[in-house]
Amino acid sequence: MAYIKTLSLFVFVLVVAFLASKSEARKRNTTHIQFYMHDVLGGSNPSAVRVAGQSMNSTGSAMFGFGSIYVMDNSLTATPDANSTLIGRAQGLYAMSSQENELSLLMTLTYNFVSGIYNGSSLSIVGRNPVMNEVREMPVVGGTGVFRLARGFALAKTHSMDQVDAIIGYNVTIIPYF
């Protein structure tokens, strides 16, 4: 009987040690990335264009009305300066998804990295973005390359806004698949 108790205790200690080591490995391999997305709707070379939605009136007020859908190919840079190092592209679409007074988007986008250690890899984001909140959280639902099967979250914070153009800072936490 003492042998079974000792063996059971030994197995329990091994399982706890194994789980603790996996937890520690996850902490060490969690990746944090910070970058800035440039969403340009105005000017002669927009990076996001409206492809569907209500007809706009003469003042353009339906531009951000419920149901409006935009396709984007926004630059991702290392700093808020549009001329800083290009680290990738945010490609996808967003839709005005709230019928209330709140400006809320449904974001479906992929961050494609084109330089640095993440070159050739991507992260996919799908979620609600209540634009007027100071900080918005959206889930990372997958990725490719070094981020294959990744999960995590992206925190978005508007850095600046000029009429309809915006620079959004992103802090992304990626937890690798094990």
Decide: 72 and 40 in contact? Cβ < 8 Å. Answer: no
Q: What residues are paired with 96 via a beta bridge?
A: 105
Domain 31-175 has CATH 3.40.50.1110: no
The alpha helices in 30-139, defined as continuous H runs, are none
Q: What residues are paired with 169 via a beta bridge?
A: 36, 157
Asked if residue 79 has pLDDT above 60, the reply is yes
Q: Is 107 exposed, middle or buried (0-12, 13-18, 19+ CB in 10 A)?
A: buried
Give the mean pLDDT of 142-150. 93
Asked if residue 60 has pLDDT above 60, the reply is no
| Cα 78-161-70 angle, rounded to 5 deg | 85
Question: Closest by alpha carbon to 104, among 80, 128, 138?
Answer: 128
Give the per-residue pLDDT at 66.
Answer: 85
Asked if residue 87 has pLDDT above 90, the reply is yes
Q: What residues are paired with 111 via a beta bridge?
A: 90, 123
Residue 140: count of CB within 10 angstroms of its CB: 21
Question: Closest by alpha carbon to 50, among 65, 35, 30?
Answer: 65
Long-range pairs for 80-85 at CB < 8 Å and ≥24 separation? 80/36, 80/159, 80/160, 80/167, 80/169, 82/38, 82/167, 84/36, 85/115
Q: What are the phi and psi torsion angles at 43 (to 5°)?
A: 80, -175
**Range of lowest pLDDT (6-15, 67-76, 124-133, 153-162):** 6-15
| Cα 156-157-163 angle, rounded to 5 deg | 115
- For residues 109 and 102, which has the higher predicted lDDT (pLDDT)? 109
Give the span between the Cα atoms of 160 and 157, in whole angstroms: 9
- For residues 54 and 114, which has the higher predicted lDDT (pLDDT)? 114
